[in-house]
Structure 1
Amino acid sequence: MQGKADVAKRFLLWTALYFVGAVLAARFLRNADGVTLFWPSAGIGYVCVLRFGLPWVATIASAMLAYHLLLTQSSWEFIAYSLAGKIIGTAVAAGYVLQENRSLHLRTEDGMRLFGGGILLALFSSAIGAFGLMKTGVVSGDELPTAFARWALGDLLGIAAVAPSLLFITNTRAAAHRLSPYHETSGRRERGFWLALLLTSFAAIYSLGGHKNLYGLGLITLPLVLLLWSALRFSSVWTSVSTGVTVIYLSVVSGIGLGGFVAPASLIDTTVLLMLLCLVAIIPVMMALAGLEQRTTAYALYRRATRDTLTGLLNRTAFEDEARRRLSSNQAPATLMYIDLDNLKIINDSTSHVVGDEVIHAIAGAIGASVGEDSVLARTGGDEFAILLPRGEAGAIVQARRLLTEIEAMRVPFGDQVLTTTASIGLVAASATERDYDVLFSHADAACFAAKELGGNRYHISYPSSDEAQAHNAVMRSALRIREVLEREQFILYCQPIVPLHESSKDIHFEVLLRWREEDGTIHVPAEFISAAERFRMGPRIDRYVIDTTLRWLERHPQAAKSVTSCGINLSGATLTDEHFADYLATRLRRSSFPAQNLCLEITETSVVRDRKRAQRFIGQMRDLGCRFALDDFGTGFCSFGYLNDLDVDFIKIDGSFIRGLEGSELSRAVVRSIADIAHVLGKTTVAEQVETDAERVRLQMMNVDYAQGYLFGRPQSIETFFTSQTAVA
């Protein structure tokens, strides 16, 4: 019922507007000969049908019928022709503009299409109307061309003067939107000054016309220039309304003959005047449309630069700018929240990235609806979001709990499945003394990482002064330092020998170890930077550096390379998931003189446990290149023996924690003995790590362990020193 009432009100409003336009034209826009100079109702009916559809030509029929019955003594025959001309002309024009269901976006192209439709409306309406005038005896056959021309130009001027304003005013975009026709970029003072100039130009035109000045009408350039100024500086609504008022004013003073102007008497005079007024009506509006289109293009580019294409949220750069601005502009409570979805990779791998994007899009909508418009929300990465909440820690905790519940409760259908996920959230509240965005974001990210490591589906709060935060800062500094060291190639290679326990050999087995040397000569061991490298996924880059540097050294020292039987190089867990590593290593080995079969890649048991299938595939790819494999730190994972048979490795390196306990722990001895026995059954070679005493060496020999590595046989040395000492021993 409410919908029908709204339609009825709208119908009455547009019918009344059309009727008022007709009355104004008949009463005030008619010259001394009784000829209506222009018909503003043509523009009103045109816009009504464009906005609401062809059935709304009924408003034209109702208004015209009321106009003729109440204000004219026209015959029923002419009324029929008049109604037919207006209805058919408007329908044809609207059909042309809206062909193929095209919508109006108020661009320059649309303006040209609207003008073309207006010409069609004027031609059809005037043709039928003028024919009706002749049929009813109002004009003779000789006067038919004149009647047709005046009718057509009157409709066209009415459309040009009125339609743009109505189209802009009825635009559905919110007035506050920067692309709204109401959007103003100028100040009130400038608009007031402009309006004063326009009124002054009106007075000048009227004054000179009253003095019978032949050049009075030349002052029409003054309002035209002001309208062009308006098109460049003011809103589209301001420009179109001002243009319509200007055209009506000029029509009254020049076309009707007020203020001393002589009204046009001949068809040529009328045509020239109406065409001039049409240009005054069209040019400023077309410029306003061009300006609106330019703003639309600029806005599209701005959104592309600041918005995430999948979710429509701010991207990371735009979020940083806005967050910095808010944090620095006031001391109001604020909390930075960092959200990372749990296990979205499983959804991507088991379904597709398209489905994963649907999940992200749905969750982004839920987050946006939950936090409200007073917060700054962005998608900062693949499945990561950041929010600046305008509230303190207590309020942020309530919001974090709500988000965790809503995300966990979300269900995204996929075929006959229902996909779900959870989230990890990190929080850090801005204090009066700490409002630096970079610091807060770092702590929020660390808190989110801590929440994920605790199992996910939870929030974690970071306090910048806490020990945890200080540890995170240390990791961050290490990560930055690692990047710098890699760029400057300050990592150096150390080597530690791997020796046989049951026979002497001149062959050189060794493991490459990485060290970081400061400019003052200080040497850092991996334990000081490896956690930072893993945290920020720099492992593959470091691994490539070690492989390339090792091969380059061996290539430059061919005599040393000939004595090498096995060169062990550790690979990080992230390298196992690097799809490009196999291509890199294949390319590097092809141009190396060092045999691939003498390169032994060491992977940790924990990295294998995370994804055994991927590890098997990785081992197969590397074996195709000729490389051998060692399973490092064996015994520290879960169900080690259960998957050992499935891994095509050559060496099993027994973790040093069992070796150090050989003398005092029966359990350690049992574990080492079991590993050695099972490895030999599977045809694999064992290596004991961290052997430091002769007693440990003897026990390992008794347990049939094949090789040993540790301080007992040699401490790590630089690669140059290592090979010098090996040559001396030989």
Structure 2
Amino acid sequence: MQGNARKFRHFVMWTALYFACAVLASRFLRNSDGVALLWPSAGIGYAVAVRYGLRWTAVVAVGSLLYSLQLEQPTPLYVALIVAGKTASTAIAAWYVLRSRVLHLRTDDGMRLLGGGVIQSVLSAAFGLFAMQQVGQMDYASTPDAFIRWALGDMLGIAVVAPTLLLATTSRNPLHRLSPFHEPASRRERMFWLALLATSFIAIPALGGRGIYVLGMISVSLVLLLWSALRFAPVWTAVATGVTVTYFSVSAGLGVGGFTAPKSLVETAVLLLLLCLVAVIPVMMALAGLEQRTTSYALYQRATRDTLTGLLNRTAFEEEARRLLSATDAPATLLYLDLDNLKIINDSTSHVAGDDMIHAIGGAIGAVVGDAAVVARTGGDEFAILLPRGEAGAIVEARRLLTEIEAMRVPWADQVLTTTASIGLVSATAQDRDYDMLFSHADAACFAAKELGGNRFHVSYPSSDEAQAHSAVMRSALRIREVLEREQFLLYVQPIVPTHNTRSGGVHFEVLLRWQEPDGRIHVPAEFISAAERFRMGPRIDRYVIDATLRWLERNPQAAKSVTSCGINLSGATLTDEHFADYLAMRLRRSSFPAQNLCLEITETSVVRDRQRAQRFIGQMRDLGCRFALDDFGTGFCSFGYLSDLDVDYIKIDGSFIRGLEASPLSQAVVRSIGDIAHVIGKSTIAEQVETEAEHHILQEMQVDYAQGYLFGRPQSIESFFAAKTAVA
């Protein structure tokens, strides 16, 4: 009901305005022969129909009816023809503008509006003159002259009024930078401009009375309007243009203020065409400026906003956070939020469902923290929030976020999607407001919350042992990236030997990685592999090791011929790398080393985490000819049930069961069980970390196939390993 009442009020308002402008134009904007140079009602009806739809041409029908009835002795036929003609011409012109797409007030929209205005002016003149001829008010001889005057008068009215109304009735927030009301110039400049325009209005009649050609002075006002189009709001330019053209129309039509009223059809046509150009050019320039700002804003949004959530992206967030942190010492807390189970949603439904969840959570985060906070989506399912408050207030917000996310329900097909989040917090102190440090600690705190089970927050204190350890991990990660880029990792190998001398064959070894400092100190994998996995550098290291190993074997073909099995460890992240199979296929294709002599080792833990993905990965690698070993077996709770489903060649028994084997009946039972089951399903076993003859002897009795450990050789560089083999041979 309220909506209908509002529409009715608007209808009455536009109808009254249409009628009032028609009366004013007929009484005050006519020249000496009684023809109105400017008909603003045409612009009102046109703008209303374009803005609100064809149904609103009823404004034209009622308004023109009221105007016709107030004429002297109107005949019913004339009234009916005039009302029908004006309504039809307006509807046809509006349909022409709206037929292809929604109006956005761009420059091409301006050309469509101009074309529609021409159509309405021509049709309105044709219908109007037809009505006058039908009632005997117009003879055929004067029809061409009247047609041109009528059409140009309507066209000028449309050019003066329609742009102002269309811009003024936009639904965009006036405070928005792309609103036609947005004012880029200062108030002082606008007041100075107004003073110049008013001066030109006064100067033109004053100078025209002294014999100066006033039509040439219109250029002064036109320059001011072009200035407005470049510097001021489009609505301001449209209103100023309308006022200026109306002023010139009245002055020229009445022949006052130094203007000479046009006497002939040619003079009238030239004057009206000139005024139409003055009305159109500034408005078109204003629309071009608005379109340019719209394009620039769209590019800015694309560069700074996440397309899925509309939040800031990581780069824009970093810039804004740095600025705020350096601008003031006010309390501030950085939150790093990571969704706990989005991967499950993506794998079980689709990535589209995951995107819906991320979009919903992005909106929820913005609603919880409010406009005062800076919020960004920094990664796939990761968000960063800079709150302008201390630790206590940030903890309250973190609890609200966790509750809101846990309670969220996102419908998808016949399912309802849910998730939880982990949040890391770190507060900026007055002394320490470095963004990089804060972000690092917030990330580490989020990781700690996730490791504790998720759906919780964790506060980081930069001076704590935990934070110091994280800083050390970060330094290691940066150093690893540098070593990778400079290819400074060293290839070490350790032999794998058969436990029974009856076995014969070539060299069987595992490739190990070392990192050497400039001072000669060597780091073992335990010192840097956790940092590499934490920062997702495992696949890159794996590719480096494979490429470096194959390059060495290709450069040493005699050594390569003696190799029956070259074992290379793969990280758990490599199993999820969709491009690894393509990389390995391409690398093996150009290598002289046989693919069947390459044994890829994956850990039991990574297999247990996602067995289906592991099976698919093993299948892809086997298609290339590679063999497989299941490393560290036993650390995943000895899940014997999946062994028959995994197409591996070797099962490597974890060294924790081998150390002190002779004194541990439990370890002996575990090793014996692993060996028996492996042999039943046709797989070979390798015992890791064998260091004593007693352990070796027990493994022989248990029929373990291979052994690896210090008893048979410590890890050494690949060059030294094969040099020793050559010397023995």
Could you state the TM-score of these two structures normalised by the residue count of structure 2? 0.95
* Secondary structure class of the residue paired with 1:537: coil
Judged with a 3 Å threshold, the aligned counterparts in structure 2 of structure 1 residues 60 and 594 are, in CA distance, closer, same or farther, namely: closer
**Deviation for aligned residue 1:195:** 1.7
CA shift at 1:409, angstroms? Answer: 2.2
- Determine the C-alpha separation between the residues in 2 that align with 1:583 and 1:133: 82
Shift of 1:295: 1.8
Offset of 1:568 from its aligned partner? 1.9
Any idea what SS the aligned residue of 2:141 has?
A: coil
**Is the Cα–Cα contact under 8 Å of residues 685 and 704 in structure 2 kept in the other structure?**
yes
Q: Distance in 2 between matches of 1:430 and 1:23?
A: 69
Q: Tell me which residue corresponds to 1:29.
A: 29
Q: Does structure 2 conserve the Cα–Cα contact (< 8 Å) formed by 1:603 and 1:631?
A: yes
Structure 1 counterpart of 2:162, one-letter code: A
Matched-pair contact (CA < 8 Å) for 2:32–2:253:
no
Structure 1 residues without counterparts, runs of 5 or longer: none
Task: State the partner residue of 2:623.
Answer: 624
Q: Distance in 1 between matches of 2:246 and 2:703?
A: 108
Q: Tell me if 1:518 matches 2:513.
A: no
Inter-partner Cα distance in structure 1 for 2:49 and 2:578: 60
Is this contact kept in 1: 2:402–2:421, CA < 8 A?
yes
Shift of 1:136: 4.1
Check if 1:564 corresponds to 2:566: no
Listed as ranges, the gaps of 5+ residues in structure 2 are: none
CA deviations over 1:329-356 (Å, ceiling 9, x no partner): 2233322222222222222222222222
Equivalent residue letter for 2:60: I
Letter in 2 for 1:658: F
Task: Say if 1:87 and 1:599 are closer, same or farther in 2 by CA, change over 3 A.
Answer: closer
**Matched length:** 728
Amino acid at match of 1:324: R
Q: How does 1:44-443 map to 2 (within 5 A)?
A: 44-69=44-69, 74=74, 77-100=77-100, 102-213=101-212, 215-443=213-441
Task: Give me the whole-angstrom Cα distance separating, in 1, the residues matched to 2:654 and 2:685.
Answer: 11
Matched, 1:495 2:493: yes
SS at match of 2:299: helix
Displacement of 1:196: 1.9
How far the C-alpha of 1:514 sits from its partner, in A, is: 0.5
Corresponding residue for 2:604?
605
Moved more, 720-729 or 63-72: 63-72
Structure 1 residues 160 and 675, CA gap change in structure 2 (3 angstroms):
same
Deviation at 1:36, TM superposition (A): 2.1
Distance in 2, Cα, partners of 1:574 & 1:260? 85
Tell me, in whole angstroms, the C-alpha distance in 2 between the residues paired with 1:663 and 1:587: 46
> Which amino acid in structure 1 is aligned with residue 58 of structure 2?
A
Moved more, 413-422 or 232-241: 413-422
* Other structure's SS at 2:426 match: strand
CA–CA distance in structure 2, aligned partners of residues 620 and 52 of structure 1: 63
Partner-residue secondary structure (3-state), 1:36: coil
Are the equivalent residues in 1 in contact too, given 2:204–2:258 (CA < 8 A)?
A: no
Q: In 2, Cα distance between the equivalents of 1:78 and 1:501?
A: 115
Amino acid at match of 1:463: Y
Distance, in Å, in 2 between the alignment partners of 1:648 and 1:55 is 72
Give 2:39's aligned residue: 39
What letter is aligned with 1:51?
R
Shift of residue 525 of structure 1?
Answer: 0.8
Match of 1:426, SS? Answer: strand
CA distance in 2, matches of 1:704, 1:582: 35
Q: Supply the distance in 2 between the matched residues of 1:423 and 1:342 (Cα, whole angstroms).
A: 5
Please report how far the alpha carbon of residue 38 of structure 1 lies from its aligned counterpart in structure 2 after TM superposition. Answer: 1.2
CA distance in 2, matches of 1:457, 1:72: 82
Cα deviation digits, residues 287-334 of structure 1 (max 9, x gap): 111222222222222222222222222222222222222222223332
Mean CA deviation greater in 184-193 or 104-113: 184-193
- Is the 8 Å Cα contact of residues 655 and 689 (structure 2) preserved in structure 1? yes
Q: Deviations over 1:150-189 (max 9, x none)?
A: 2222111111111111111011111111211111221122
Change (3 A) 1:575 1:17: same
The range that moved more, 628-637 or 273-282, is 628-637
Query: Structure 1 vs Structure 2: percent identity of aligned residues?
Result: 75
Are the counterparts in 1 of residues 208 and 257 from structure 2 also a CA contact under 8 Å? yes
**1:617-661 deviation digits (Å, cap 9, x = unpaired):** 322333333333222212111243222233233322222212223
* Distance in 2 separating the partners of 1:423 and 1:724: 54
Measured at CA, do residues 19 and 499 of structure 1 come closer, stay the same or move farther in structure 2, by a change above 3 Å?
A: same
SS in structure 1 opposite 2:645?
coil
- TM-aligned CA distance change 1:328 to 1:144, over 3 Å: same
| Residues in 1 aligned to 2:417 and 2:496: alpha-carbon distance in whole angstroms | 50
Larger displacement relative to structure 2 (3-12 or 167-176): 3-12
Q: Which amino acid in 2 is paired with 1:301? A: L
- Per-residue CA deviations over 1:41-86 (Å, capped at 9, x if unaligned) read 2111211222222332333343344445557565555444443333
Deviation of 1:491 (Å): 0.2
In structure 2, the CA distance between the partners of 1:74 and 1:448, relative to structure 1 (3 Å rule), is same
Aligned-partner SS, 2:375 = strand
Cα deviation code 1:690-719 (max 9, x no counterpart): 222333333333333333222222221111
Report if aligned partners of 1:660, 1:690 keep a CA contact under 8 Å in 2.
yes
Over 3 Å counting, the alpha-carbon distance change for 1:108 and 1:542 in structure 2 is: same
